[in-house]
Amino acid sequence: MLELNDVGVRFGSTVAVADVTLTVPEGEVLAVLGPSGCGKSTLLRAIAGLEELATGTVALDGTDLAGVPTHRRGFALMFQDGQLFRHLDVAGNIRYPLSLRRPNPDRRPNPDRARRAAPSAVTERVEELLETVGLPGYGSREVSTLSGGEQQRVALARALAAEPRLLLLDEPLSALDRSLRERLAGDLRGILTQTGTTALLVTHDHDEAFTLADRMALMFDGRIVQHGPTQEVWTRPATRQVAEFIGFSTFLTGDPARRVLAATEARTPRQAGTGGSSADAGRSTVDGDGSTLALRRSALRVDPAGSLEGTVVSAGAISDAVRVELDLDGVGVVEALADQHATLRAGDRCRVRAHAVGMARLGP
Ligand code: ADP
């Protein structure tokens, strides 16, 4: 288990990281999510022992790592550009950490490890890792002949080869195009789970964090402002700043919020016939106490059966849907989604259905 306690890093008078207290239980993946410049990479480097701590401690399995140099921490790092060795083929890259591995005097002899030192065992291990990352038979390929996604898979295999006690990932998929990023994120998640790897990921991409991590920590200006299980942060952002960063795009208060909630309740089958109590509860959440209803685009869908009505302001295709800006009657301008094949133009009237999934209440 990785434990960060009150970690702070300064560069002269710049406070890059302040008061960071987080834990990553063994076998889990934590994503630190935040905008560029918020201190994510500095935190990652501090954990790796590449930046000096101004305050606090970094401990692994109860041992304070102060004074333990980077190469003795047993961590592996993976960056967005993979940083593969160009002069080695794929197998050579993956073999590299295996050849660096020194016998650890603290460990009892491990026959399995000893066997791995034999050349045939190393070859076997390389092939096993290539299979794990979905590139069987790629060992003799030159790095320059690989696509960006394949290079990142090799970088992952190389990171896993050292059987790290902790894998540190710095925006591992950011350099890839969107569709590849989505596919590789799912694969990476599967590989980390399958290998039981404890990992800390830093990223500015909320989808990447959501797909990869068990837990999520939101970082702004060097500080963690919310952390918890990914699903919890995703559905219950603590502040508007967090909500905006994880993809909520519409924020409503007062009557507009009540109108959308009423439409949501009427359309949720499970709540039909409950005498309106859910609607009342929903209303009270945004009534007078200054709280806000936050909506993801997916919470509002253009649908002829919807009970809300509005006028299209603009519409544009995104990967598998149409993103619509709508002026909803009695609500105001909101973001919504329409079916991929919808033909909507500015000025068109349409109906909208509100879905509870994709809505969150923000406190005052
Ligand atoms: P992120 O990874 O979230 O983009 P960084 O950790 O790279 O953010 O940077 C956090 C802050 O620390 C920024 O203000 C950045 O300019 C500053 N910073 C990072 N590295 C250094 C350095 N080596 N010297 C001085 N300032 C730095």
Give the binding-site residues of ligand 1, using a 6 Å CB cut-off.
11, 14, 16, 34, 36-42
Q: Give the model confidence (pLDDT) of 265-300 as tens digits.
A: 544 444 333 333 333 344 445 555 678 999 999 999
**Residue 206 confidence (pLDDT) above 60:** yes
For CATH 2.40.50.140, the residue range(s) in the chain are: 248-362
Question: Packing angle between helix 148-161 and helix 119-132, nearest 10 degrees?
Answer: 130
Q: 39: CA distance to ligand 1 center in Å?
A: 6
> Given a cut of 50, is residue 103 above it in pLDDT?
no
Determine the distance from the C-alpha atom of residue 72 to the mean position of all C-alpha atoms in its chain, rounded to a whole number. 28
- Tell me the three state secondary structure of residue 138: coil
Closest by CA to 29, choosing from 188, 267, 259, is 188
CATH 3.40.50.300 boundaries in the chain: 2-240
Q: Which two tokens stand for residue 224?
A: 């963690």
- pLDDT of 128-143, one tens digit each? 999 988 899 999 999 9
Length of the chain: 364
pLDDT tens-digit map of 44-72: 999 999 999 999 999 999 999 999 999 89
Q: pLDDT confidence of 164, banded at 50, 70, 90?
A: very high
Predicted confidence (pLDDT) at residue 34 exceeds the cutoff of 70: yes
Q: Which atom of ligand 1 is nearest to the CA of 36?
A: 4
Question: What is the average pLDDT value for the chain, to the nearest integer?
Answer: 87
Domain 2-240 has CATH 3.30.200.20: no
| Distance between CA atoms of residues 247 and 127, nearest Å | 39
CB atoms within 10 A of CB 87: 9
Cα-Cα-Cα-Cα dihedral sign, residues 190, 192, 195, 198 = negative
**Separation of alpha carbons 42 and 221, rounded Å:** 12
Pocket test for ligand 1, best of 9, 42, 47 (most atoms within 8 A of CB): 42
Find the mean pLDDT for residues 258-264.
91
Pocket test for ligand 1, best of 13, 14, 40, 53 (most atoms within 8 A of CB): 14
**According to CATH, what is the number of the domain 248-362?**
2.40.50.140
